[in-house]
Amino acid sequence: LLKLGGYGIIRVLPICPPPNTTLIYPFMMLALWGIIMTSLIGLRQPDLKALIAYSSVGHMGLMISATLIQTHWGLSGAMLLMIAHGLTSSALFCLANMNYERTHSRALLLLQGAQIIFPLMAAWWIIASLTNMALPPTINFMGELLILTTLMNWCPLTIIITAIGTTLTAAYTLYMLLCTQHGKLPHGLSLPPMMTREHLLLALHMIPLILITMKPNLLF
């Protein structure tokens, strides 16, 4: 739904009258403040699926702020981020559901130490978390870099809010990764191994992301 809303904003804003600066400010402030608020909520979130959902909302705050400026770089960065985060967020939700199918709980701490018995799942977790943090040279990083450049050219003060939001994004993503993969495995859990269909599902998320990263001009 977030990606559909972003698509609607990109398609509707160009056919509207030229935006007035005083009209943009309230929506821009809400979008930028939403990045920090959702990141702070994510840092205190014990529910794995809720944490991933808040992460998606925080990234969409960046996308909305870029589309409101209506520049070529802003729209290109918004489109890149929507496609990249659509794949990344979906992969994270798939991993969270795999944890839920084995533990019947969405608690972050219940499957700590999972890399001991699920090393391949831990590899998928690391790849998805690094792309969620917009690690260079992923397509997530390219989209966020275009958006940050657009916002800084529009108003230099926005770099403070976006820098805080980027730092908090890395913080709660690492918190999610460490809580689910490191630590001491709880006793009394009977955990079935990963199946081939689960690896295939995650590969179908990550392979397009890697291919787009290698040739981003397909989207431009």
Chain mean pLDDT for the chain: 85
> For the residues 160-187, what does the mean pLDDT come to?
85
First to last CA, the chain: 23
Report pTM: 0.88
**Which three-class secondary structure state does DSSP give residue 47?**
strand
Instruction: Indicate whether 19 pLDDT > 60.
Output: no
* Residue 108 domain-assigned (yes or no): yes
Give the separation between CA 73 and CA 83, rounded to whole angstroms.
16
Query: What is the domain count for the chain?
Result: 1
213, pLDDT greater than 60:
yes
Q: Where in the sequence is the domain holding 191, given as residue range(s)?
A: 1-14+30-219
Does residue 25 form part of some domain? no
Residue 27 parent element (H or E) = helix 21-43
Rounded to 5°, angle at Cα 50 from 47 and 55: 125
* d(C-alpha 69, C-alpha 75), whole Å: 9
- For residue 7, is it within any domain? yes
At residue 25, the pLDDT reads 82
Nearest to residue 179, comparing CAs of 191, 171, 189? 171
pLDDT given for residue 105 in this prediction: 79
State which amino acid sits at residue 9: I
Q: Is 21 contained in some domain?
A: no
Calpha distance 29→32 (Å, rounded): 5
Handedness of CA 32, 135, 129, 116 (dihedral sign): negative
Look at residue 64 and tell me if it is in a domain.
yes
Query: Which stretch of 30-44, 81-95, 106-120, 132-146 has the lowest confidence by average pLDDT?
Result: 106-120
Q: What percent of the chain has pLDDT over 70?
A: 93
Question: What tokens appear for 53 in the block?
Answer: 């959902």
Residue 68 has pLDDT above 90, yes or no: no
